[in-house]
Amino acid sequence: MNGFERRKERKQANILNAALELFSEYGVQKVTIQEIAQKAQVSQVTIYNYFGGKDQLIFEAVKKFIYERLEKVQDLVQDPTMNFKEKIGLLITNKTEDLLHIHMDFLQTVIADQPDIQELVSSFTQKDSIPLLMELIRQGKDEGYVHPDFSFQTIMFYVEMYYQAFRSTSNLSGLTPQQLSEELSHMFFYGLAGNKEDSLPNKK
């Protein structure tokens, strides 16, 4: 790869990163191409040369985001040094470094009116996401953390729900993230009724 291509790739990455950060902070609609260009240190037109328009830029940003997240989760699921409980803890609290800073709020807005993205997400879910989570849930059932009668779909929905919830945490509750996280982890496994044979972890 020569100097041209390397610089081109770096600029493309810059633009995508800038776009992702702004999109996730302010929403797709309120971010202007100009702002992205400014943050990525390029001219507006360069963005058009590389991506062809705002819609396609959004598409590529979402794609990049989704597949980068997929890789992280893949590594986690296949990690033999953790048990199911630890993996779930990481997943739902999303401690994987840079992902913490990126909210997916904007996806919901975007999916509504971009059929391409709808298809991208749908295809991603079917081909990549579901098999991965099935493997994880199998681990959970093997290790006895998951009741064997729950349907796969429900469990997936449940996990996703926790994950989604953790994205919009910080400012609402008065507890430290630490406390909230521990209590919710317990609820995740034993529900609102709690584990009758145990007191809560943070009350030990």
d(CA 34, CA 45): 9
CB nearer DNA, residue 49 or residue 164: 49
Region near DNA per CB under 7 A, out of 27-35, 93-101, 185-193, 195-203: 27-35
Nearest approach, Cβ of residue 9 and DNA (Å) = 9
Listing DSSP states for 143-197 in one string gives TT-S-TTS-HHHHHHHHHHHHHHHHT-TTT-SS-HHHHHHHHHHHHHH-TT--TT
Backbone φ and ψ for 12, nearest 5 degrees, come out as -60, -45
Sites for DNA among residues 39-58 (CB under 7 A): 42-46, 48-50, 52-55
d(CA 24, CA 34): 16
Of 37, 20, 13, 47, give the one whose Cα is nearest residue 106.
Answer: 20
Q: Is 5 helix (H, G, I), strand (E, B) or coil?
A: helix
Nearest approach, Cβ of residue 166 and its own copies (Å) = 9
d(CA 19, CA 4): 22
Sites for its own copies among residues 134-193 (CB under 8 A): 140, 145-147, 149-151, 153-158, 160-162, 164-165, 168-169, 172-175, 179-180, 183-184, 187-193
User: Of DNA, its own copies, none, which one does residue 16 interact with (CB within 5 to 8 Å by kind)?
Assistant: none
Footprint of its own copies on this chain (CB under 8 A)?
26-27, 29-30, 105, 108-109, 112-113, 125, 140, 145-147, 149-151, 153-158, 160-162, 164-165, 168-169, 172-175, 179-180, 183-184, 187-195, 199-200, 203
